[in-house]
Each structure stands twice: as C-alpha cells, then as structure tokens.
C-alpha cells in the first residue's frame, strides 16, 4: 500500500557540500521527520479505512440491487483503482518535485489525500444520486492513489535530505512508523463505528472515519508548511539545470529493471 517508485530521487548530502549550523539542521530534520510521519499516517489511515469500508459497507451503499456476491466483487475492485493510477501520478508528481520543490508537492499530496477521503465520507448513496455515486467513488479513489504515489517516496526523500549524514536512516524510518500508526488508527476508527446499530452504521456511522481524516490534514499542513526546502535540494537544483527528465532517463536506460520489478510483483 505504499507508493511505487517515482522520479523523486534522493539527493545524497555526501554529494553536495553546503554550509549549515548544526542546531538549525537538527530542527529541520525533526520537522521533516514529523511531517513525514503525519503524511504516512494519513496515507495508511485512508487506505485502511477504505479497505474496511469496501469489505463491509460499500457493496450495500454504492452497489445495491444486484447479486450480493457481484456487489462485493465490484466494491473490492474499487480498491485497485488507487494502484492503477500510481505509476503515471508518480512520474508527474516526481517531476514537479524535482523541478519546483519537495515541499510544494508534499503539501499537494497531503491536501489531495485528505480532501478525497473527506469527500468519500460525504458521498450520497445510489438511492439519492443513482449511478453517479459509484462513479464518483472510483474518481475519488483514483485521487487517493495519485496522492499516495507522491507522498511516501517524496517524504523519505525530503527527510533524508534534511537529516544529518549519520542519522539519515533514523529520521527516514519515521515514514514507516507513520504507516503503522495509520493502520492502528484506521482499525480503531472502524472498530468504534462498528459498535453502532446496523442501520445507523449504514446510514451515517461509516462516514465518520472518512470525515475525521481532515483533522490529520490540518496537523500535517501546520508542520509541513513551516518546513523549508533542504539546502541539499536547493544546491542540487541549481546544478541540475538543463538535465534530462528523470522519468525519461529511467524509461530509456533502466527499462529492463522496471520490467523485472513488474514481473516480480505479479
């Protein structure tokens, strides 16, 4: 459930010499790790509540009136939409992350994920808007996948660029720690709403975990907007002017590796 690799390539602090005070560098490294933790928490929280809702709720809300088994298959199939859009989204978000800045793209992915998840919680059922309900569900799931494509790899990249050389692994590990936190939060959220009577759960209770994601977005934005671009990125950005697009280089020179990864994942 993590985002696939994109062209947000980490820029090693060993390869770029930039002056920085230790205290300022450590403060930014902590902020980068905190922002990565929050972003990863939101990503996995959203993915897991969507998976739970697909298995328990969506077949009744968005695919009623058909064979229950087929409704369940269609409901679960919407999960895969988020993965289909990831490769393209990773290339686009990664490209602009390299050109414009890590922070801007990570703010975009955070807002995109939070808004998409919040809107899923606001979707009317088929009984209200007809076939538009499952169509909108699929579109919002695609937005979730697009945001996830840039979030994980971009968060690791930015965290590593801010981190001191001897503590890069520690600070970058907070991305995976956020994933565990997101899974726990999602499980607790659906455990809480599952205690509601069945009618209340189907009417409005399932929406609460989706609507609550906006709180994580607010916290994440507060931290992420206070974080500057790393000095490593700024120096490398200037030296990289005029270079080929990373995605072009990857597809041209490393297509065999990409093919191996795809085949191993089947």
Distance between CA atoms of 167 and 163, rounded to whole angstroms?
A: 6
Q: Report d(CA 113, CA 85) in Å as an integer.
A: 14
**260 within domain boundaries:** no
196, part of any domain = yes
Would 164 be classed as within a structural domain? yes
Domain containing residue 198: 22-229
123, 131 Cβ separation under 8 angstroms: no
- pLDDT score of 7: 44
Give the Cα separation of 194 and 183 in Å (integer): 16
Q: Name, in order, each residue with C-beta under 8 angstroms of 223's C-beta and a sequence gap of 6 or more.
A: 31, 34, 35, 38
Q: What is the pLDDT along the chain (266 residues), one digit of tens a residue?
A: 444 444 444 444 444 444 444 556 678 788 888 888 888 888 788 878 888 898 888 988 898 878 888 888 888 888 888 888 887 888 788 778 777 877 888 888 888 888 999 999 999 999 899 889 999 999 999 998 888 888 777 888 888 888 888 888 888 888 888 888 988 998 899 889 989 998 899 889 999 999 988 887 888 788 778 777 777 777 766 665 556 666 778 788 888 888 888 788 66
Is residue 148 assigned to a domain? yes
Q: What is the CATH number for 170?
A: 1.20.1250.20
186, part of any domain: yes
Per the structure, how many domains does the chain have? 1
**Is residue 195 in some structural domain?**
yes
Whether residue 87 is contained in a domain is answered as yes
- Residue 241 exposed, middle or buried by CB count within 10 Å (0-12, 13-18, 19+): exposed
Which residue is listed with tokens 């902020």? 31
CA distance 145 to 165: 32
Q: Which residue has 């990125």 as its token pair?
A: 233
Question: Residue 143 falls within a domain, yes or no?
Answer: yes
Which residues have CB under 8 Å from 53's CB, separation 6+? 190, 206, 209, 210
């Amino acid at each position: 459930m993590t985002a696939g690799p994109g062209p947000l390539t980490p820029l090693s602090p060993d390869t770029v010499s930039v002056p920085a005070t230790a205290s300022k560098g450590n403060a930014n490294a902590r902020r980068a790790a905190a922002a990565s933790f929050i972003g990863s928490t939101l990503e996995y929280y959203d993915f897991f509540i969507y998976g739970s809702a697909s298995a328990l709720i969506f077949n009744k809300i968005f695919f009623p009136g058909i064979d229950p088994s087929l409704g369940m298959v269609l409901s679960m199939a919407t999960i895969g939409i988020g993965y289909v859009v990831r490769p393209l989204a990773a290339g686009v978000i990664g490209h602009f992350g390299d050109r414009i800045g890590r922070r801007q793209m990570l703010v975009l992915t955070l807002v995109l994920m939070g808004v998409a998840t919040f809107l899923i919680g606001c979707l009317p059922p088929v009984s209200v808007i007809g076939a538009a309900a499952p169509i909108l569900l699929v579109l919002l799931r695609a937005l979730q996948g697009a945001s996830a494509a840039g979030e994980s790899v971009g968060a690791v990249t930015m965290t590593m660029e801010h981190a001191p050389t001897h503590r890069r692994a520690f600070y970058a590990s907070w991305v995976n720690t956020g994933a565990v936190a997101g899974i726990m939060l999602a499980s607790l959220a659906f455990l809480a709403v599952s205690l509601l009577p069945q009618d209340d759960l189907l009417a409005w209770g399932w929406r609460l975990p989706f609507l609550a994601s906006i709180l994580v977005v607010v916290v994440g934005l507060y931290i992420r907007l206070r974080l500057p671009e790393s000095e490593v990125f700024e120096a490398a950005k200037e030296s990289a002017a005029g270079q080929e697009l990373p995605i072009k280089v990857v597809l041209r020179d490393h297509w065999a590796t990409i093919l191996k990864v795809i085949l191993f994942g089947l």
